[in-house]
Amino acid sequence: SVANTPEDDAPNRYSRAERTTYSRYSRDANSSGSSLPSNTLEKRIEELERELAKERQENARLMKMAQDKEELIGKLKEEIDLLNR
């Protein structure tokens, strides 16, 4: 049996995400000799920024709900302790 040398391991040197990202950018840069028009990219960036803002807002809302529930749990535990005495 032949032992793997570092050169044999080249495909596994980078994570799958890195390889996917590299191949995607490489493919995009080489597709039909040009990349997407900049206005299309700007629109996509704006769309993603709006989506990110919505996700952050939803995350903040969920964090507030979780904090409120934790406070309520604490108050209920105190009330249970008082009732048990």
User: Does residue 80 sit within a domain?
Assistant: yes
Length of the chain (residues): 85
Q: 3-state class of 53 per DSSP?
A: helix
User: Does residue 27 sit within a domain?
Assistant: no
What pLDDT, on a 0 to 100 scale, did the predictor assign at position 39?
A: 92
CA 20 to CA 28: how far, in whole Å?
12
Read off the pLDDT of residues 32-83 as tens digits, 9 standing for 90 and up: 555 678 899 999 999 999 999 999 999 999 999 999 999 999 999 999 999 9
- The domain total for the chain is 1
User: Does residue 29 sit within a domain?
Assistant: no
CA 66 to CA 82: how far, in whole Å?
25
Read off the pLDDT of residues 71-82 as tens digits, 9 standing for 90 and up: 999 999 999 999
pTM metric for this prediction: 0.49
E strands in the chain? none
User: Does residue 31 sit within a domain?
Assistant: no
User: Does residue 66 sit within a domain?
Assistant: yes
